[in-house]
Structure 1
Amino acid sequence: MKIDRLLAIVVMLLNRDKISAAELAEKFEVSVRTIYRDMDTINMSGIPIASSQGNNGGFHILDNYKINHRFLTLEDMISIVEALKNINGVLDDKNVEMAMEKIKSIIPHNKKSTFDLYFKQIFIDTLPWGFKKSEKENIKYRMIFRALKENRCISFNYRNSKGEYIFRRVEPVTLVFKGFSWYVFSFCTLRKDYRIFKLSRMDELEILNEEICKPRISYGEYAKTEMPQKVPVKILLKFSEKVRYRIQDYFDEDEITFLEDGSVMVNTEVVEDSWIYSMILSYGEYVEVLEPRHIRKIIKEKCKNIIDIYS
């Protein structure tokens, strides 16, 4: 990918006095003309690139810029490679893997041992304990990522939160990881509006030959201005000391009060939906909803329904 190549070139220029277009072209497996275009792009971004002719010629970043604006430290490189590694764990993209190798190859020799040490100290696994990656889900990630790169529409059958099973044709915009789940933010041609679809609810996913022509807003813009904002409700929960370890995992310290008998009070605000009911029920007999009364009533009814199932 071009952005990975540009980043790697900048880092190489920061760590070397001079490098030729031919050497860069060979390293990144592109033409010399492409390297010259890359240099123009880097210059336009505000990083001053100069060139010199002759046997010892090549490209270099102006010295005063290198001295005052050396913006990629060893820690920056570690963070970049770590982020790429975790992205590639989902997408399994050869371009991402190549970008990691390129960045690692330009780390100064006297810093490689430090890099290796730091790199081994960081590992990110987005799955909860006891869960394994689903190959079926991995295929969906890769297909949607491919559609995004190729600017193509996708179609799938989707089961929504109402239990409806509907065919959708969408123009994908962004892959979103939120709350331990993957989603795709898209423009839905059925609803003529933006929608967010959970990958695990998709079946019969296909990449279509239709290209996306109309520019779309970003997920960040949508989340700030278009996404409906639910008003949170105050809730007071009383937990048994037997689940104290879980409470400290999910609630802030200033929301928690420890009582003399060992029980725990939690006073917080939540968005009321089916997820919060499920979260409360997950604590079983070790939690009681004290306020508000309508949520207490809903949990009571759900408990009765559970009893009926097992009667």
Structure 2
Amino acid sequence: MKESRLFKIIYFILEKGRVTAPELAEKFEVSVRTIYRDVDVISSAGIPIYVTTGRSGGIQILDNYVLDKAFFSDKEKQDILSALQSLSVINNTYERELLTKLSALFNTHSENWFEVDFGRWGSKTQDNAKFELLKKAVITHKVVNIVYVSTHFKKTTRKIHPLKLYYKSKEWYVKAYCTEKNDFRLFKINRIIDCKLLNEDFIPVEFPDLQATEQNAHNKIVLRFPKEMAYRVYDEFKDDELTEHESGDFIVAAYMPEDAWLIGYLLSFGAYVEVIEPAYLREVLSDEAKKIYEKNKP
């Protein structure tokens, strides 16, 4: 309890610049005598904290004090700056200003060694605005109204409680509780064609473990790819889903949803995919390929 208060006192003084003992006593609900004892403990730990008297006096920390010397290792410092750097690409003024302030406070330059863009090609502004709105909803626990397009091309309006932004297999999702379905749902952000932040709070809860539920919700699909498709097979599937045949072909066994998305996904491989299991999926895929041929034949 005391250690937690000491850290909070340090952060509060760094933020305010100069504070009085009564002000700290009121904020942390302790006596003024206790505050002065805490100041002595902080000083003995090597933090340059001092007390000045007079009308403009108070408790403050040396202006040029570098926070990371007492609290952060070089790696921790770079991790913090890198995380902020990844968020600053969405053109949020707050993140960019905070990145600048912490870089100065840590007396360290953040190496610009990577770049993140949450937008698709040609739609950066709209996608980044959507990402920023959902991020704000997660942090502030605000309900969001969305217009969503499902895998069956159905457009629905839903009210959701955004719990976490989630990146999986080159796609961004939002983990949320859907009030319409009274259940947890995973929404692909690209399919959210409109969203509005509501002035309505929700109590955040834990999103269920996806890995435990995916295999129960999805069926096992077994596919075969020629070695020429190695580049994409390694891009699309996990190592434990792959088996290399003696011929050089790849056998993939993965759990996937059997819906319209799966058919479109398999068709994206063209003639380079063979369905092994389930057998009925071969017929479905073949019929869909025939429809494409009939519609586009010369």
Same fold (TM over 0.5): yes
1:250 pairs with 2:236: yes
Aligned mates of 1:31, 1:201 — CA distance in 2:
52
Number of residue pairs matched by the alignment: 265
Hey, what does 1:163 align to over in structure 2? 153
Hey, what does 2:286 align to over in structure 1? 300
CA contact (8 A) 1:51 1:57 kept: no
Aligned with residue 25 of structure 1, among 12, 16, 32: 16
Kindly provide the amino acid, as one letter, of the partner of residue 266 in structure 1: I
Cα 1:248/1:35, change in 2 over 3 Å? farther
Which 5+ residue runs of structure 1 have no aligned equivalent?
1-5, 14-18, 41-47, 61-65
Q: CA deviation at 1:217?
A: 0.9
Structural mapping, 1:67-216, within 5 Å: 72-90=72-90, 92-108=91-107, 112=108, 119-120=111-112, 122-125=113-116, 131-209=121-199, 211-212=200-201, 214-216=202-204
Aligned mates of 2:232, 2:11 — CA distance in 1:
57
Hey, what does 1:230 align to over in structure 2? 217
The alignment's C-alpha RMSD in Å is 4.3
Cα 1:286/1:194, change in 2 over 3 Å? closer
Kindly provide the amino acid, as one letter, of the partner of residue 254 in structure 2: E
Aligned mates of 1:20, 1:190 — CA distance in 2:
42
CA contact (8 A) 1:172 1:187 kept: yes
Hey, what does 1:265 align to over in structure 2? 250
Aligned mates of 1:20, 1:83 — CA distance in 2:
20
Aligned mates of 1:183, 1:20 — CA distance in 2:
34
CA contact (8 A) 1:183 1:198 kept: yes
Structure exhibiting the larger radius of gyration computed from Cα positions: 2
CA contact (8 A) 1:25 1:35 kept: no
Instruction: Provide the secondary structure at the position in 2 that maps to 1:308.
Output: helix
CA contact (8 A) 1:174 1:218 kept: no
Q: CA deviation at 1:285?
A: 2.0
CA contact (8 A) 2:145 2:197 kept: yes
CA contact (8 A) 1:154 1:170 kept: yes
Cα 1:257/1:193, change in 2 over 3 Å? closer
Aligned mates of 2:136, 2:256 — CA distance in 1:
34
Q: CA deviation at 1:282?
A: 1.8
Q: CA deviation at 1:25?
A: 1.6
Instruction: Provide the secondary structure at the position in 2 that maps to 1:273.
Output: coil
Aligned mates of 1:73, 1:194 — CA distance in 2:
39
Cα 1:286/1:127, change in 2 over 3 Å? farther
Higher mean alpha-carbon deviation, 301-310 vs 194-203, is at: 194-203
CA contact (8 A) 2:244 2:251 kept: yes
Cα 1:84/1:35, change in 2 over 3 Å? farther
Kindly provide the amino acid, as one letter, of the partner of residue 94 in structure 1: T
Kindly provide the amino acid, as one letter, of the partner of residue 128 in structure 2: N
Cα 1:175/1:305, change in 2 over 3 Å? same
Kindly provide the amino acid, as one letter, of the partner of residue 125 in structure 1: V
Sequence identity percentage: 19
Aligned mates of 2:213, 2:78 — CA distance in 1:
36
CA contact (8 A) 2:141 2:204 kept: no
Instruction: Provide the secondary structure at the position in 2 that maps to 1:229.
Output: helix
